[in-house]
Amino acid sequence: MHHTLSVTVQDKPGVLARVASMCALRGFNIRSLAVGPIHQPGLSRITLVVDDVAVEQVTKQLHKLVNVLKVSELDPNDSLEREVMLVRVSADPGIRREVRDTAEVFGATTIDVGAKTVTFELCDHPQRLSDFLALIGHYGVVDLVKSGRIAMARDAKAKTKAGTEQ
């Protein structure tokens, strides 16, 4: 079990270092971290996935950082989670068609083809990435990179509407 935290921060020098090393020093293991600016100028959002630690304490310690404006824990059942993966797998010309067919089922895009490998890009829910990797892994993973998870809560208004319709 893990927790996904969405942390809105001021875009100040060192803010990522503060967040990351505070977690390290207090023994909160970070599984994934992704950061980028948001629509409001001067602000960024860090999506932080931490192990099943005392998440309340992580949240409080994050709040103590002066450059942290907001921390919300995202319920996996009520949030949109995405991650990008680039994966290069062995694919001799003889089985290349078969490998690409598998990838197509998952909606993965072929972004590079080499003499003996094919590289796919997949942007999807982290669970879908794992499922894809489990299958495509049979052909032999040569290289792999993931972006780290990004997430946001589902739109509250849509949820309320759905609730009243039931």
Partner 1 sequence: MPKMSGAAVLIKSLEYEGVEVAFGVPGGAILPAYDPLLDSPIRHVLARHEQGAGHMAEGYAHATGRVGVVIVTSGPGATNIMTPLQNALMDSVPIVAITGQVALSSMGNDAFQEAPTTGMAMHCTKHTFLVTDANEICDVVHQAFHLASTGRKGPVLIDIPKDLLVTEIEWHEPGPVDLPGYKPSRAGHSRQIERAIDLIMEASQPVLYVGGGIIAAGASEELLQFAEALDVPVTTTLMARGAFPDAHRLAMGMPGMHGTYTAVTAMQEADLLIALGTRFDDRVTGNPATFAPGAKVIHVDIDPAEIGKVRNPEVPIVGDVRVVLEQLVSALGVRLGDESLPDRSHWLETIAGWQAKYPLSYQQEPDGPVKAQYVIEQLLEATGGDCIVVSGVGQHQMWASQFWSFSKPRTWINSGGLGTMGFAVPAAIGAKVGMPDELVVAVDGDGSFQMTFQEMVTASTEKVPIKVVLINNGGHGMVRQWQTLFYGRRYSATDLSGDSPNYAALAEACGWVGMMVETPDDVGPALRKMLSTNDRPVLLEIRTDPDEMVWPMVPAGGSCSDIALGPEDL
Paired with 151 in beta bridges are 81
Residue 34 Cβ vs partner 1, minimum distance, rounded to whole Å: 20
Q: Could you say whether residue 41 binds partner 1 (CB under 8 A)? A: no
Q: Could you say whether residue 65 binds partner 1 (CB under 8 A)? A: yes
Q: Could you say whether residue 66 binds partner 1 (CB under 8 A)? A: yes
Would you state the structure tokens that stand for residue 50, as one six-digit string?
């931490």
Burial of 76 (0-12, 13-18, 19+ CB in 10 A): middle
Q: Could you say whether residue 18 binds partner 1 (CB under 8 A)? A: yes
DSSP codes, 28-89: --EEEEEEEE-SSTTEEEEEEEEESS-HHHHHHHHHHSTTEEEEEEEPGGGEEEEEEEEEEE
Which residue number, 51 or 121, has a Cβ lying nearer to partner 1? 51
Residue 93 Cβ vs partner 1, minimum distance, rounded to whole Å: 49
Q: Which range in 12-20, 45-53, 78-86, 137-145 contacts partner 1 by CB under 8 A?
A: 12-20
Q: Could you say whether residue 22 binds partner 1 (CB under 8 A)? A: yes
